[in-house]
Amino acid sequence: MTDTFLVADIGGTQIRAAVFPTDQSAPRKIVRTPTQGAGCTPIERLLDLMASIWPSEGAVKAITVAAPGPIDPYQGIVYEAPNIPGWTDFPLKDHIQERFKAPVAVGNDANLAALGEWRFGAGRGFHHLIYITVSTGIGGGIITNDQLLLGAHGLAGELGHITVIPDGPLCGCGQRGHLEAIASGPAIARWVEQELADGVPSILSNQHPLTAREVSLAAQKKDPLAIAALGRAGNYLGVAIADMLHIFNPEVIIIGGGVSRSGPHLMEPLKEAVQEHILSRHYLDGLVLTTAALGDEVGLMGALALAHTLTEA
Amino acid sequence: MTDTFLVADIGGTQIRAAVFPTDQSAPRKIVRTPTQGAGCTPIERLLDLMASIWPSEGAVKAITVAAPGPIDPYQGIVYEAPNIPGWTDFPLKDHIQERFKAPVAVGNDANLAALGEWRFGAGRGFHHLIYITVSTGIGGGIITNDQLLLGAHGLAGELGHITVIPDGPLCGCGQRGHLEAIASGPAIARWVEQELADGVPSILSNQHPLTAREVSLAAQKKDPLAIAALGRAGNYLGVAIADMLHIFNPEVIIIGGGVSRSGPHLMEPLKEAVQEHILSRHYLDGLVLTTAALGDEVGLMGALALAHTLTEA
Q: What is the pLDDT of residues A14-65, one digit of tens each?
A: 999 999 999 999 999 999 999 998 889 999 999 999 999 999 999 999 999 9
Of A81-85, A201-205, B72-76, B163-167, the range with the lowest mean pLDDT is A81-85
B109 lies in the same domain as B171: no
Q: What is the mean pLDDT of chain A?
A: 95
Which residue on chain A is closest to B172 by alpha carbon?
A279
A50 lies in the same domain as A194: no
Cα separation values, A208 from A110, A189, A205, A262, A292, Å:
30, 11, 8, 20, 29
pLDDT for residue B39: 86
pLDDT for residue B141: 98
Q: Which helix (H) or strand (E) holds B166?
A: none
- Measured distance CA(B64)–CA(B43) in Å, rounded: 14
Residue A209's pLDDT is what?
87
In CATH, what number is assigned to the domain containing residue B50? 3.30.420.40
Is there a single domain that holds both residue A8 and residue A139?
Answer: no
pLDDT digits (tens, 9 = 90+) for A211-228: 999 999 999 999 999 999
On whether the CB atoms of residues B274 and B283 are closer than 8 A, the answer is no
- Chain-chain contact of A157 with B242 (C-beta, under 8 angstroms): no
**Which range marks the domain in which residue B231 is found?**
124-293
**pLDDT score for B276:** 95
Determine the pLDDT at residue A82: 80
- Torsion angle (degrees, nearest 10) of CA B101, B102, B103, B105: -90
Provide ipTM, 2 decimals: 0.95
Q: Helices (H), strands (E): how many in chain B?
A: 9, 13
Instruction: Mark whether B162 and B107 lie in a shared domain.
Output: no
Domain match, A127 and A241 both: yes
Q: What is the pLDDT of residue B209?
A: 87
- The radius of gyration of chain A's CA atoms, rounded to the nearest angstrom, is 20
SS3 A12: coil
The partner residue sitting opposite B282, judged by closest CB among A79, A142, A246, is: A79
Q: How is A118-169 classified by DSSP, letter by letter? A: HHHSTTTT-SSEEEEEESSSEEEEEEETTEE---SSS----GGG-BSSTT-S
Give chain A positions within 8 Å (CB) of B156.
247-249
Residue B268 lies in a domain: yes
State in Å, rounded, how far the first CA of chain A is from the last one.
23
CA distance B92 to chain A (A): 18
Taking the Cβ of residue B243 and every Cβ of chain A, the question of whether any pair is shorter than 8 Å is answered with yes
Residue of chain B whose Cα is closest to the Cα of A178? B277
Predicted local distance difference test score (pLDDT) of residue A171:
94
A275 & A211 share domain: yes
Residue B38 has a pLDDT of: 83
Asked whether residue B32 is domain-assigned, the answer is yes
- CB of A123 within 8 A of CB of A143? yes
Out of B177, B250, B276, name the one closest to residue A151 (CB). Answer: B250
Cβ of A249 under 8 Å from any chain B Cβ? Answer: yes
Instruction: Let me know if residue B43 belongs to a domain.
Output: yes
pLDDT at residue A208, as a whole number = 83
Residues A240 and A190 in one domain: yes
Low-confidence ranges of chain B (pLDDT < 70): 1
Q: What is the pTM of this model?
A: 0.95
In percent, how much of chain A has pLDDT > 70?
Answer: 100
Q: How many domains does chain A have?
A: 2
How far apart CA A66 and CA A46 sit, in angstroms, is 12
- Do residue B104 and residue B150 come from a single domain? no
pLDDT for res A266: 97
| Strand order across the beta sheet in which A4-10 lies | A29-34, A14-21, A4-10, A60-67, A104-108
Query: What's the pLDDT score for residue B25?
Result: 92
Q: CB distance A247–B157 less than 8 Å?
A: yes
Q: Are residues B94 and B194 in the same domain?
A: no
Q: Are residues B96 and B200 in the same domain?
A: no
Q: What is the pLDDT of residues B206-252, one digit of tens each?
A: 888 899 999 999 999 999 999 999 999 999 999 999 999 999 999 99
Cα of B187 to nearest chain A Cα, Å: 17
Is B119 domain-assigned?
Answer: no
Q: Are residues A171 and A97 in the same domain?
A: no
Question: Do A161 and A196 lie in a common domain?
Answer: yes
Does B152 contact A128 at a Cβ distance shorter than 8 Å? yes
